[in-house]
Amino acid sequence: MRRGIAATALVAALGVTLAACGSDSGSNDGGSKGSGELSGTVTWWDTSTVGSEDKVFKKIAADFTKKHPKVTIKYVNVPFGDAQNKFKNAAQSGSGAPDVIRSEVAWTPDFANLGYLAPLDGTAALKDQDDFLKQAAASTKYNGKTYAVPQVIDSMGIFYNKKIFKEAGVEVPKSIDELKSVAAKIKQKTGKTGLYLRGDDAYWFLSFLYGEGGDMVNADTKTVTIDNPAGVKAFKTVKDLVDSKAAITDATNGWDNMQAAFKDGKVAMMINGPWAVADTYTGKEFADKANLGIAPVPAGSAAQGAPQGGHNLAVYAGSKNLDASYAFVEYMSSTEVQAQVAKELSLLPTRTSAYGKTEVATNEMITFFKPVVDKAVERPWIPEGGSLFAPLVTEYTKVLTNQSTPEQGAKTAGDSYRKLLKDWK
C-alpha cells in the first residue's frame, strides 16, 4: 500500500508540475492610476541600429522617468529584421509581447488588421495630430482608426565617398547610365567598385523599380503591376549593374556587408536612408564627417523616385499598462524628442513644428532628405503591404544570382502577389 501512495503522489506531483508549466507566468506590473499618477512598467521594443542609434534611443526612453518617476521603462532592442516576426509570435500567444513597439510603416496596417494594436484615437498618445506630416500620418491609419504615432520618416538617396570621387575625378551620377560610366571610371582609376547593391532585401530594389515607372501594385485600380514591362525592365537594370561589375551584391548578410564595404572605402557608393547615417559616421573613411556625400537616387529611363518609409510607435492591444504606454508614445513623438533625435542621429522628424527648430534646420542630412521625402513615392498602406516583400526578395535574389531571367522573376513575383491579394488583376 505504501507503494500505492507513492504512485499517487507521483501522479499528483506531475499534474502540479504540468499545471505550473501551463499557467501564464507573464508578469503583471499593475499600472494603476488611482491617484492620477502613472506607474508600472512599460516595455519598449526598439528596432534601431545597434551600436549607434540604440544608445541615443535608450537614453531618451530613460528620460521619460524624469517626468513620471513611478514608471519604469524597459528598453529592449530587437534587430529590425526579426522584430516583425517576434512581435507577431508574442502578440498572438499573448505572452512576452512588449507594451510599445517601434513598428515599420508597412507593418502597422498588418498588425492593426490582425487586431494586435490598440486604437489610439481619443487617448493621451495622440497630441496635436495636425502637426504631423500628412505622408507620415497616412501609414498609421487603418479602417478609419489611428493605430500608431509616426516617429520618424525617411526615404533613400545615394551615399557617396567624396574622397574616392575626387580621386577618380567623377561627378555624382544622376541616372543609371551615368552610374554605370561613373562606376567604370572609379574602377579604372582607383580599382574600387562603384556601387554596393543590397541583394537580400527587396526594399533596395524599389528605387530602380520606380525609376522605370513601375511599382509593386496599384491599389487604386487593384492591379498587380510588378510584372508589367516596367517591372521587367527594372529587374534587367539591377541585373545589368551586377553583371557589368558596376555593382557588387550579396545574397545573405547584405546590411553588414554593405555597411562594412562602404565604411572601409571598398565601394564608392551605396543607396541608403537616414537610418544608416549614424552608423556610417563610425567608419574609418568617415572620421571626417564631411567625406560623406549624399545625392538623390539615380533616375531610371522613365522617372526618378525613392520609397517613402519610416517608423511608427504603436501600443500592443494586450498591454497591461495602457495609460503609461500612451504617455510614453506621446513623449517619444513630441517635438522636443524629435528634435533631439534629429540632432544626434540625423533622423527626420514627423512633426512640422520640429522642422522649425534650429538643430533640425541646420542638420545637413535632414536638409538634404526633407525634399527627398516630400517627393518620395508613397506605398499603398494596405494590410498586405508588408507581405509584398517576401515573394519579391526571392525573385530579386534569383535574378541577381542568375537563377531566373528578369522576365521569369517578374512573372513569378506577380503570380504570388495575385495569390496574396484576392480578386486583384
Partner 1 sequence: MAVDTSSQSVAKAAGDSARGRSRGTGKRNGGSRGAVRRSLSTHWYAWAMVAPVVLVIGVIIGYPLVRGIWLSLTDANERNVERSIGVNHIPASYEFVGVDNYVDALTGSQFVGTLGWTLVWTVACVSVTFALGLVLANMLNRKMAGRGVYRMLLILPWAVPGFVSVFAWRFLYDERRGILNQLLAGGGIDAVPWLNDPTWAKFSVIAVNVWLGVPFMMVALLGGLQSIPGEMYEAAEMDGANAWQRFRHITLPGLRSVSTTVILLSTIWTFNMFPVIFLLTRGGPGEATQILVTQAYKFSFEISPRDYAQSSTWGVLILVLLMVFAAVYRRVLRKQGEVW
What are the residues binding partner 1 (CB under 8 A)? 3-4, 7-8, 10-11, 14, 18, 84-85, 88-89, 91-92, 94, 110, 113-116, 118, 199-200, 248-253, 257, 260-261, 266, 316-320, 384, 386-387, 390-391, 394-395, 397-398, 400-404
Task: Closer to partner 1 by CB, 57 or 196: give it.
Answer: 196
**CA atoms within a 13 Å half-sphere pointing along the CA-CB vector of 290:** 0
Q: What contacts 306, CB < 8 A, 6 or more positions away?
A: 155, 156, 157, 206, 207, 210, 296, 297, 372, 376, 377
How far apart CA 367 and CA 142 sit, in angstroms, is 30
Least separation in angstroms between CB 187 and partner 1: 15
Task: Closer to partner 1 by CB, 86 or 357: give it.
Answer: 86
Q: In 201-283, which residue ranges form alpha helices assigned H by DSSP?
A: 206-211, 229-243, 254-263, 277-280
Least separation in angstroms between CB 7 and partner 1: 5
Cell numbers 536638409: residue: 367
Task: Closer to partner 1 by CB, 12 or 62: give it.
Answer: 12
Cell numbers 518609409: residue: 309
Least separation in angstroms between CB 107 and partner 1: 9
- Collapsing DSSP to helix, strand or coil, 225 comes out as coil
Q: Is 185 exposed, middle or buried (0-12, 13-18, 19+ CB in 10 A)?
A: middle
Task: Answer for the pair 163, 292: CB distance below 8 angstroms, yes or no.
Answer: no
Torsion of CA 14, 15, 16, 18, to 10 degrees: 90
Least separation in angstroms between CB 403 and partner 1: 5
Task: Closer to partner 1 by CB, 328 or 355: give it.
Answer: 328
- Collapsing DSSP to helix, strand or coil, 156 comes out as coil
The backbone torsions φ and ψ at residue 147, rounded to the nearest 5 degrees and listed phi first, read: -115, 0
Pairing mode, strands 193-196 and 267-272: parallel
382 Cα distance to chain centroid = 16
Going by C-alpha positions, the residue among 233, 270, 275 that lies closest to residue 248 is: 270
Cell matching residue 21: 508549466
Task: Closer to partner 1 by CB, 56 or 124: give it.
Answer: 124
Task: Closer to partner 1 by CB, 318 or 380: give it.
Answer: 318
**What DSSP character marks residue 216?**
S
Task: Closer to partner 1 by CB, 125 or 373: give it.
Answer: 125
How far apart CA 318 and CA 92 sit, in angstroms, is 10
Least separation in angstroms between CB 116 and partner 1: 6
Task: Closer to partner 1 by CB, 39 or 321: give it.
Answer: 321
Task: Closer to partner 1 by CB, 90 or 327: give it.
Answer: 90
Q: What contacts 85, CB < 8 A, 6 or more positions away?
A: none
Least separation in angstroms between CB 234 and partner 1: 17
Least separation in angstroms between CB 11 and partner 1: 6
Amino acid at 365: M
Task: Closer to partner 1 by CB, 355 or 396: give it.
Answer: 396
Least separation in angstroms between CB 250 and partner 1: 6
Least separation in angstroms between CB 346 and partner 1: 27
The backbone torsions φ and ψ at residue 87, rounded to the nearest 5 degrees and listed phi first, read: -65, -40
Least separation in angstroms between CB 279 and partner 1: 16
